[in-house]
């Protein structure tokens, strides 16, 4: 293997929001994309590919919304193709959509395999080179930085190396700032990656990158081998999201570069965010985290009894390749009660709360968390929920209002709106006690949660004006067990914001309305606790039952402007 000289720095180019969304069952809203982009920036990612503005109205909307993003470390980039044959760049809709984003950095891909040029584009290899040359010259004269993705490069190099090299040399001569070699079909082996890069280095002096797909389960290995061969940019997606078998998993690549190879790709002190980012992206994408995922999975540092558990207590290096805290994960000795208390303390410390492992409150919190997680609660995207659970354990969770009654009706008239949606209306009838006063109201909404939100606000906003700034952003439902069909337990995750902070709230129940109520109420209570608002309601000696489960129903840390109606 060659060991070329290069700076000890590799740029991470994240394509979760573009290539990652092409994965089956991956659905990410515009607001979720904004949240993920901010997470990636906080992690220290160098480039964030936000989408393909010409191919999706959602991506176009994202780039409009992203103009309000204040990224500190990352460059936001948009993705597109070389111009169409027999169309000028001025006339090409895809090219113009890239420029309309107003971004200083763009990414375009072009064919570098003769087979793709002749079969997919139905043009000659020479005409394909013209498309590459013309597109890059046109865009580079209008933006600061242009990344060229050499699509199908490695297959092209195996089949016709002379043409593959000519294609990327054309991109280099036209002004591309970096050239990313793509294993688009995901079938290469590490040795083939290295051999191709050896051939490229003799004629290309621009910085090189790697974009690997995982169809042969080699994407991470191929990306690492490419870095060892001298590339200075790695493209991939969080949790390996992507079309077919996915993209190279940045969650595995980043710690391998930083901890195993001593290569800077994100600030080392931000590496501890990795587990949080991985699980947040899964939660926002409505996917269940992979417990066995290396580095960040719940089971990645779990030890179950016997020799392993005994040895790990003496020295973690006996059965762990790294300290889990380096990537924000935690060790789990499954048979140890003491380990459980330590886990609670570690989790609390993430939110600035220091707990004594030996304190009875810590055991009380642990018992409650285990009970709630058994019901189906998850707190990775619910840091405010976790805090409310701790507050309740210490007896310092305020009682702002009490639900006396809730009835929600949903009516459908059998007609469909344009686009196929059923027409209907929801009505929420709510009775609460706040400030010692019983109050009732009914509210109509476009959905049950919208109706409940409107009704509850109508009743309590006058007591708590701080809630006027809270807006509901997003609503997700996940079926936790499908064995009972329509009787399954569901988990509801809401996103809310007061304009300054974004948070999420969670509720779990076999009744989707009850789960939604739990999440909605917790979101409002979190705001009141955060702002240290004094309750108007006197603490009764006996609290009547409500739809909120005892000892905290759950809130989390997500959300920003009202407007989402569900």
**Site of tokens 């763009």:** 106
- Give the residue with greater pLDDT, 349 vs 100: 100
Q: Is residue 179 part of a domain?
A: yes
Domain shared by 248 and 358, yes or no: no
Domain shared by 241 and 312, yes or no: no
Domain shared by 345 and 256, yes or no: no
Q: Looking at 248, 266, 284, which one is the last position of a domain?
A: 266
Q: Check residue 338 and give its pLDDT.
A: 44
Q: Is residue 4 part of a domain?
A: no
Angular region, 87: left φ>0, alpha ψ -120 to 50, beta rest: beta
Q: Which tens digit of pLDDT belongs to each residue from 191-216? A: 999 999 999 988 999 999 999 999 99
- Of the pLDDT bands very low, low, confident and very high (cuts 50, 70, 90), residue 415 is low
**Site of tokens 């193709």:** 81
Q: Is residue 108 part of a domain?
A: yes
Domain shared by 84 and 227, yes or no: yes
Domain around 58: 11-266
Q: Check residue 420 and give its pLDDT.
A: 57
Residue in 237, 238, 181 with CA at minimum distance from that of residue 211: 181
Cα dihedral sign for 67, 69, 74, 77?
Answer: negative
Average pLDDT for the chain: 86
3-state secondary structure 169-221: HHHHHHCCCEEEEEECCCCCCHHHHHHHHHHHCCCCCCCEEEEEECCCCCHHH
CA distance 275 to 268: 14
Q: Dihedral through CA 384, CA 389, CA 390, CA 396, nearest 10?
A: 100
Domain shared by 366 and 249, yes or no: no
CA distance 258 to 295: 13
Q: Check residue 317 and give its pLDDT.
A: 83
Q: Is residue 78 part of a domain?
A: yes
Q: Looking at 363, 381, 399, which one is the last position of a domain?
A: 381
- CATH number for the domain spanning 31: value is 3.20.20.70
Q: Is the pLDDT of residue 554 over 50?
A: no
Q: Check residue 528 and give its pLDDT.
A: 92
Q: Looking at 221, 250, 266, which one is the last position of a domain?
A: 266
Give me the percent of the chain exceeding a pLDDT of 90.
57
User: For residue 368, how many C-alpha atoms fall within 13 Å in the half-sphere facing its CB?
Assistant: 24
Average pLDDT over residues 411-420: 65
Domain shared by 247 and 367, yes or no: no
- Give the residue with greater pLDDT, 344 vs 530: 530
Domain shared by 240 and 307, yes or no: no
Domain shared by 84 and 233, yes or no: yes
Q: Is the Cβ–Cβ distance between 314 and 303 less than 8 Å? A: no
Q: Is the pLDDT of residue 487 over 70?
A: no
Classify strands 75-81 and 47-49 as parallel, antiparallel or unpaired: parallel
Domain shared by 181 and 65, yes or no: yes
Domain shared by 142 and 260, yes or no: yes
Domain shared by 216 and 364, yes or no: no
Q: Is residue 185 part of a domain?
A: yes
Domain shared by 364 and 245, yes or no: no
Q: Is the pLDDT of residue 43 over 50?
A: yes
> Could you give the number of structural domains in the chain?
2
Q: Is residue 395 part of a domain?
A: no
- Of the pLDDT bands very low, low, confident and very high (cuts 50, 70, 90), residue 286 is confident
Q: Is residue 506 part of a domain?
A: no
Q: Which tens digit of pLDDT belongs to each residue from 222-253? A: 999 999 999 999 999 999 999 999 999 999 99
Q: Is residue 320 part of a domain?
A: yes
- Of the pLDDT bands very low, low, confident and very high (cuts 50, 70, 90), residue 546 is very low
CA distance 78 to 72: 18
């Amino acid at each position: 293997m060659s060991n070329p000289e290069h700076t000890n720095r590799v740029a991470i180019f994240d394509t979760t929001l573009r290539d990652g969304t092409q994965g089956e069952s991956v659905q990410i809203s515009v607001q979720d994309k904004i949240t993920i982009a901010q997470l990636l920036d906080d992690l220290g990612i160098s480039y964030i590919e936000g989408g393909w503005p010409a191919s999706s109205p959602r991506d176009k909307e994202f780039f409009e919304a992203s103009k309000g993003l204040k990224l500190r470390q990352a460059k936001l980039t948009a993705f597109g193709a070389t111009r169409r044959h027999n169309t000028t760049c001025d006339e090409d809709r895809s090219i113009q959509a890239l420029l309309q984003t107003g971004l200083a950095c763009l990414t375009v891909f072009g064919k570098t395999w003769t087979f793709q040029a002749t079969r997919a584009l139905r043009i000659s290899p020479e005409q394909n080179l013209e498309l590459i040359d013309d597109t890059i010259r046109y865009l580079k004269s209008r933006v600061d930085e242009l990344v060229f993705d050499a699509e199908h490069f490695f297959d092209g190099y195996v089949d016709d190396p002379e043409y593959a090299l000519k294609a990327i040399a054309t991109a280099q001569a036209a002004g591309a700032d970096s050239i990313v070699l793509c294993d688009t079909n995901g079938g290469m082996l590490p040795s083939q990656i290295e051999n191709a890069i050896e051939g490229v280095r003799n004629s290309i002096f621009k910085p090189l990158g790697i974009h690997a797909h995982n169809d042969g389960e080699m994407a991470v290995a191929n990306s690492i081998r490419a870095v060892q061969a001298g590339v200075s940019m790695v493209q991939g997606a969080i949790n390996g999201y992507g079309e077919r078998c996915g993209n190279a998993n940045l969650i595995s690549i980043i710690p391998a570069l930083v901890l195993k190879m001593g290569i800077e790709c994100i600030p080392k002190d931000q590496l501890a965010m990795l587990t949080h980012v991985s699980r947040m992206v899964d939660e926002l994408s409505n996917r269940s985290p992979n417990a066995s995922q290396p580095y960040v999975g719940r089971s990645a540092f779990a030890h179950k009894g016997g020799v392993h558990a005994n040895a790990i207590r003496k020295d973690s290096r006996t059965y762990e390749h790294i300290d889990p805290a380096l990537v924000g994960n935690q060790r789990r000795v499954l048979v140890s009660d003491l380990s459980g208390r330590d886990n609670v303390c570690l989790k609390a410390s993430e939110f600035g709360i220091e707990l004594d492992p030996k304190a009875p409150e810590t055991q009380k919190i642990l018992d409650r968390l285990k009970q709630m997680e058994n019901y189906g609660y998850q707190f990775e995207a619910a840091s405010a929920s976790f805090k409310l659970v701790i507050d309740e354990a210490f007896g310092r969770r305020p009682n702002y209002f009490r639900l006396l009654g809730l009835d929600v009706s949903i009516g459908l008239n059998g007609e469909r709106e344009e686009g196929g949606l059923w027409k209907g209306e929801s009505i929420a009838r709510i009775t609460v006690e706040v400030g010692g006063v019983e109050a009732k109201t009914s509210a109509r909404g476009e959905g049950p949660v919208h109706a409940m939100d409107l009704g509850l606000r109508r009743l309590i906003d006058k007591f708590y004006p701080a809630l006027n700034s809270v807006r509901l952003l997003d609503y997700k439902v996940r079926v936790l067990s499908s064995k009972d069909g329509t009787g399954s337990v569901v988990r509801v995750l809401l996103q809310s914001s007061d304009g300054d902070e974004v948070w999420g709230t969670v509720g779990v129940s076999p009744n989707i309305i009850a789960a939604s109520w739990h999440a909605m109420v917790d979101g409002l209570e979190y705001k009141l606790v955060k702002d240290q608002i004094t309750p108007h309601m006197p603490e009764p000696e006996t609290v009547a039952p409500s739809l909120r489960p005892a000892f905290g129903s759950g809130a989390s840390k997500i959300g920003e402007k009202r407007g989402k109606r569900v």
